[in-house]
Amino acid sequence: MAQLFFRYGAMASGKSIEILKVAHNYESQGRKVLLLTNALDDRTEIGSIASRIGLQREARAIQAEDDIFAILESTEEFSAVLIDEAQFLTREQVLQLTRIVDELDVPVLTFGLKQDAFNQLFPGSEALLIYADKIEEMKTLCSFCTRKAIMNLRIANGHPVYSGAQIQIGGDEAYMPVCRRHYQNPDLAMIKKHTNAVKGE
């Protein structure tokens, strides 16, 4: 029986490499997967899933107005639907995913952030936490210590940022995975060192 999965984690927890691995596992068994990502994510190129270790492949870029159920219903048969950057889904799109699982009996695996840099749930993540059959945390370490990172610290010009737009696309130059303690009290010297390293300085 198909299920809806939500795998979430802080930045740099391996979400993109995991979705590429899952896609490979399906395809190595001769099964087709529908790979989706969000058109908002333009860190590499729109319509691409890229991991920090250099693996990358094309995916269909979706926007807020797209009906994912209709997309799947109108295309060839797939064994699974895999979605990267699932935090950017709308609540309505998450409900469409439940229809894919319940009516078409196709498993849907989603990967994304749980909350934004100000610790507010993304609409897509909130809906997935409600409707997903299985929820799994993907773990990574805090950028400042050996605790588990559960938050994302936005940085700019070597300093932490605690206000602003919910959605600001960025990678290592803009965010650091952190524990709760270091979200509130980050090491400014380490932020500066991190910023310089990303810039290649």
**Across the strands, what pairs with 110?**
6, 83
Q: Does some domain include residue 83?
A: yes
Output the six-digit token pair for 166: 């919910």
Percent of the chain with pLDDT strictly greater than 90: 77
Q: What per-residue confidence (pLDDT) applies to 116? A: 97
Whole-model pTM: value is 0.91
In DSSP notation, 11-75 reads: TTSSHHHHHHHHHHHHHHTT--EEEEEETT--SS-TTEEE-TTS-EEE-EEE-TT--HHHHHHTS
Residue 113, domain CATH: 3.40.50.300
Q: Does some domain include residue 50?
A: yes
Q: Active site includes 85?
A: yes
Q: Does some domain include residue 181?
A: yes
Q: What per-residue confidence (pLDDT) applies to 42? A: 60
Residues 62 and 34 in one domain: yes
pLDDT digits (tens, 9 = 90+) for 80-117: 999 999 999 999 999 999 999 999 999 999 999 999 99
Does pLDDT of 50 surpass 80? no
Query: Which residues define the annotated binding site for ATP?
Result: 9-16, 84-87
Query: Which residues define the annotated binding site?
Result: 9-16, 84-87, 142, 145, 167-170, 175, 179, 182
Q: Of the residues 138, 167, 183, which one is the last residue of a structural domain?
A: 138
Q: Does some domain include residue 161?
A: yes
Query: Which residues define the annotated binding site for substrate?
Result: 167-170, 175
pLDDT digits (tens, 9 = 90+) for 143-196: 999 999 999 999 998 899 999 999 888 888 899 999 999 999 999 999 988 888
Residues 160 and 134 in one domain: no
Q: What per-residue confidence (pLDDT) applies to 43? A: 54
Q: Does some domain include residue 146?
A: no
Burial class for 103, CB neighbours closer than 10 Å (0-12, 13-18, 19+): exposed
Tally of domains in the chain: 2
Percent of the chain with pLDDT strictly greater than 70: 95
Whether residue 22 contacts residue 82, with contact meaning beta carbons closer than 8 Å, is answered with: yes
Provide the domain limits for residue 131.
4-138
Q: Does some domain include residue 56?
A: yes
Residues 10 and 87 in one domain: yes
Among 77, 85, 126, 173, the active-site one is: 85
Stronger pLDDT, 173 or 123, i.e. the higher one: 123
Residues 131 and 157 in one domain: no
Q: Of the residues 138, 167, 191, which one is the last residue of a structural domain?
A: 138
CA distance 188 to 176: 12
